[in-house]
Amino acid sequence: MIKPFGSDELNPLFVYDSEQHHALAAEAEGLPSLLVNSAAAANAVMLGAGYFNPLRGYMNLADALNVSEQMQTTDGLFWPVPIVNMADDVSAIGGAKRIALRDPNVEGHPVLAVQDIEAIEVVSDEQVAAMAENIFGTTDSNHPGVATFTQLGRYLISGPIQVLNFSYFQQDFPDTFRTAVEIRNEIQERGWQKVVAFQTRNPMHRAHEELCKMAMEAVDADGVLIHMLLGKLKPGDIPAPVRDAAIRKMVELYFPKNTVMITGYGFDMLYAGPREAVLHSIFRQNSGCAHFIVGRDHAGVGDYYGAFEAQEIFDQRVPEGVLGIEIFKADHTAYSKKLNKVVMMRDVPDHNMEDFVILSGTKVRQMLAAGEDLPQEFARPEVAKILMAHYQSEA
C-alpha cells in the first residue's frame, strides 16, 4: 500500500491507548478551556484521524503565513493550506501552557482535544487578508470560505494536540465516518493493492458514477473509495444524511459487488478550489489511496476559479516527487445522446453542447422540488427519488 504523506508510518493524533485516554480526559477537566470554532474543531478531528499526517498540531503564525504564500512550512514541509486554531477571545487561557479544547458542535461542549500552547500570537487584519487572498484567490466576503476564514478571530494559538474524540461524526454517521487509519485497515483487509479516491460534497449523478468507473478502469484499480465530506457546508448544499443515502443506493444498484468503499470524513468545506484539491490529495494518500480523481472546478464555488485550475496547480505549484498519490485528471462528464452513454467531453470532439444531457444545479433543484422526474440519462431514478423527498420536505 502507498506510504502516508510525509512519513513512513501514519501517526494519528487520537489517543488510542485506553489508560492514557482516560488519564488525559481526567486531566482535561481541570485545565483552562477554550471553546474553539467549528473550523478549528474540524482541524482537530482531521489531525486525530490521521488525515493531516505528518502535522502534530496547529501551525504558528510564521508557518500559517508561509504555507498560505509558499505552500510550505518554515522548515520546508510542503502543505497547501494553514491548519490553525484561531479565536477572538483568549482571556480564559491567558498564561496557560496546556489547555482543553471544547467542541462547539456538540451539546455540553465536551473536550475535543488537549493542546500544549507554544504561542498565542495576534494576527493583523492585513495578515488575515493576505492569507485569504493566497488560499482562496480572493478577499471577496461573498466567497463562503473567505467569509468563514476572516471571521475566525485574531488570536492564533499554536502547538501540538492530543485528540480525545471525533466530535459528532462518529455518533451521527456511524456507518460512514472513518479515520484514515480505519480506511487503510479496510483496504488491507479487502486485499486491494490499488485504490482510486473520489471526493464529493454532493449526491452522485450518473456522470459521477461513470467517472469513478472510468478512473478505475484507466488505472486498473481494485476498488474506489467514495469519500464524502460530512462537516459544515454553505447554505443550500444538500445535508450529509441525504447524500449518504443517495450514494449508498447508487452503489448498491449500479456498481459491481465489492468494488466500492463508502466512507466519510469530518471536515468543514473550505471552497478553496485548487488549494483544497491539493489538501484533498494529501489526505487521500494518508488514507492509502494510490490515485485521486480531480475533476472540473474541484472544490470550487461560484465563478471564483477556472474550470481546470484545480488540476493545473499540481503541475504549477506542487514540486515533483512530493506527492506519492497520482492525480487522475477528469474532464466534464455527461451523457451523450449520440453515443447513448456517459463520456468525457474531451473524448468526443465531434459533439456540440446540445448533444449532451446537462442540467444546471438550479434546474435540478427546481425539478426535484416540483416533483418532476430527472432524465434517466442524468440521474438514476432511485437516487432521484431520495433527493426529491428531501427537496419536497424543504419546500
Q: Mind listing the pLDDT tens digit for each residue in 99-132? A: 999 999 999 999 999 999 999 999 999 999 999 9
In-domain check, residue 153: yes
| pLDDT of 36 above 70 | yes
In terms of domains, do 204 and 65 share one?
A: no
Q: What is the mean pLDDT of residues 350-377?
A: 89
Q: Which domain holds residue 95?
A: 18-167
Q: Which of 202, 296, 317, 365 is catalytic?
A: 202
In terms of domains, do 179 and 154 share one?
A: no
In-domain check, residue 64: yes
| pLDDT of 239 above 90 | no
* pLDDT on residue 392: 87
In-domain check, residue 331: yes
This prediction has a pTM of: 0.95
- Is 102 in the active site? no
Q: What percent of the chain has pLDDT over 70?
A: 100
In terms of domains, do 197 and 340 share one?
A: yes
In terms of domains, do 148 and 179 share one?
A: no
- Is 185 in the active site? no
Find the range with the poorest average confidence among 200-209, 231-240, 289-298. Answer: 231-240
* pLDDT on residue 65: 98
In-domain check, residue 217: yes
In terms of domains, do 79 and 183 share one?
A: no
In-domain check, residue 3: no
Find the range with the poorest average confidence among 26-40, 158-172, 220-234, 351-365. Answer: 351-365
Q: What is the mean pLDDT of residues 66-80?
A: 98
* pLDDT on residue 395: 64
CATH number at residue 62: 3.10.400.10
Q: Which of 102, 201, 206, 243 is catalytic?
A: 201
Find the range with the poorest average confidence among 63-67, 76-80, 294-298. Answer: 294-298
pLDDT digits (tens, 9 = 90+) for 253-295: 999 999 999 999 999 999 999 999 999 999 999 999 999 999 9
In terms of domains, do 185 and 320 share one?
A: yes
Q: Cα separations (Å) of 325 from 6, 10, 15, 321?
A: 12, 15, 27, 10
In terms of domains, do 81 and 108 share one?
A: yes
Q: Chain-wide mean pLDDT for the chain?
A: 95
Q: What percent of the chain has pLDDT over 90?
A: 91
Q: What is the mean pLDDT of residues 378-394?
A: 91
Q: What is the mean pLDDT of residues 25-48?
A: 98
pLDDT digits (tens, 9 = 90+) for 313-333: 999 999 999 999 999 999 999
CATH number at residue 348: 3.40.50.620
Q: Which of 140, 167, 194 is the last residue of a domain?
A: 167
| pLDDT of 232 above 90 | no
Residue recorded with cell 493576505 = 130
In terms of domains, do 212 and 344 share one?
A: yes
Q: What is the mean pLDDT of residues 74-96?
A: 97
Q: Which of 167, 188, 208 is the last residue of a domain?
A: 167
In-domain check, residue 257: yes
In-domain check, residue 6: no
Q: What is the mean pLDDT of residues 12-41?
A: 98
In terms of domains, do 140 and 199 share one?
A: no
In terms of domains, do 140 and 196 share one?
A: no
* pLDDT on residue 363: 87
Q: Which of 107, 138, 167 is the last residue of a domain?
A: 167
In terms of domains, do 126 and 183 share one?
A: no
What total number of domains does the chain contain?
A: 2
In-domain check, residue 230: yes
In terms of domains, do 345 and 248 share one?
A: yes
